[in-house]
Amino acid sequence: MTTALITGFDPFAGDDHNPSWDVAEELAARAGDGRLIAQAEHPDLTVHARRLPVVHGTALETLDAAIAAVAPDVVVSLGLAGGTEAVRLERVGLNLRDARIPDNAGAQPVDEPIVDDGEPALFSTLRLKAAHTRIAAAGIPVQLSLSAGSFVCNEVLYGLVHRLRERRQDARPTAHDGDSAPSSVRGGFVHVPSLRAADSPVSLEQAVEAVDLLLAESLHDRPDAEHPGGALH
């Protein structure tokens, strides 16, 4: 069996709704009916959706518990980036909390590390360039993004990649295990625009399809595509 964990977030900043959770729920519902594009390529794929609190620290604890419970082969976390106009495939998580607004528990950390003595930045391990090509070909507005900000979404991206790497190291085979080490679990983060707005450039349907295609691409073992995708500024 192949298992994907998709997370969305609670509403925050006084909103009563967060579309990232709609996308996660819809992916799990479609997977239950065998309707995902990713299932056409990975027929034994099941999808679990979990909702994370917009709270520094607690978001990562909730994600960590979900990873332990679900034992996923791939993890895609989703969040809302209000005011943006495309699905943003986040490439880099920074080891930085610098919150412009309080989180849902009232905390507003400034210039703190997420992981004490952790590396300054960690890269998503999803196959973002391969996915970007397919999502763009489907006519969905999509961007490779070099910053997930410095609020809870960035914390989940950095913390997720950090945690998956630690788990891999914990699971390193000993001389007794031979080749039985689990293959590496890919993980990363996607920001979606506020999909409900009447003038939203991306619909819920398109955001769901984009993450579906990202799943399809990221469940392959081969390395990411190698075409240019950087930014000049």
Structure tokens at 65: 């518990």
Q: Is 211 in the site for ligand PCA (CB under 6 A)?
A: no
Q: Is 9 in the site for ligand PCA (CB under 6 A)?
A: yes
- In sequence order, the β-bridge partners of residue 75 are 5, 187
User: Among 129-137, 144-152, 174-182, 210-218, which window interacts with ligand PCA (CB under 6 A)?
Assistant: 144-152
Locate all alpha helices (DSSP H) within 33-127, ordered by sequence: 37-41, 58-70
Q: Exactly one of 26, 42, 56, 153 is catalytic; which is it? A: 153
Please say which residue, 54 or 130, places its beta carbon nearer to ligand PCA: 54
Kindly tell me the burial class for residue 211, based on how many C-beta atoms sit within 10 Å of its own C-beta (0-12, 13-18, 19 or more). buried
Please say which residue, 8 or 72, places its beta carbon nearer to ligand PCA: 8
- The residue whose Cβ lies closest to ligand PCA is 153
From residue 99 to residue 138, the character string flagging contacts with ligand PCA as x (rule: CB under 6 A) and all else as - is ----------------------------------------
Contact 109, 164 (CB under 8 A): no
Residue choice 80, 92, 210, 215 for contact with ligand PCA (CB under 6 A): 80
From residue 14 to residue 43, the character string flagging contacts with ligand PCA as x (rule: CB under 6 A) and all else as - is ----x-x-----------------------
Structure tokens at 137: 């070909």
Give SS3 for 194: coil
Structure tokens at 135: 């999502």
User: Among 12-20, 171-179, 207-215, 224-232, which window interacts with ligand PCA (CB under 6 A)?
Assistant: 12-20
- Measured from the CB of residue 179, what is the shortest distance to ligand PCA in angstroms? 39
For the chain, how many residues are written? 233
Strand 2-9 versus strand 74-80 pairing type:
parallel
Q: Cα–Cα distance between 183 and 62 in angstroms, integer? A: 23
Q: What phi-psi label fits residue 201: left (phi over 0), alpha (psi between -120 and 50 degrees) or beta?
A: alpha
Structure tokens at 97: 């909390």
Catalytic status, residue 191: yes
Q: Exactly one of 155, 162, 191, 209 is catalytic; which is it? A: 191
Q: Is 158 in the site for ligand PCA (CB under 6 A)?
A: no
Q: Cα–Cα distance between 192 and 164 in angstroms, integer? A: 23
Q: Cα–Cα distance between 111 and 156 in angstroms, integer? A: 16
Q: Is 189 in the site for ligand PCA (CB under 6 A)?
A: no
Q: Is 152 in the site for ligand PCA (CB under 6 A)?
A: yes
- Measured from the CB of residue 67, what is the shortest distance to ligand PCA in angstroms? 19
Name the site residues for ligand PCA (rule: CB under 6 A): 9, 12, 18, 20, 54, 79-81, 149, 151-153
Q: Just list the catalytic residues.
A: 90, 153, 191
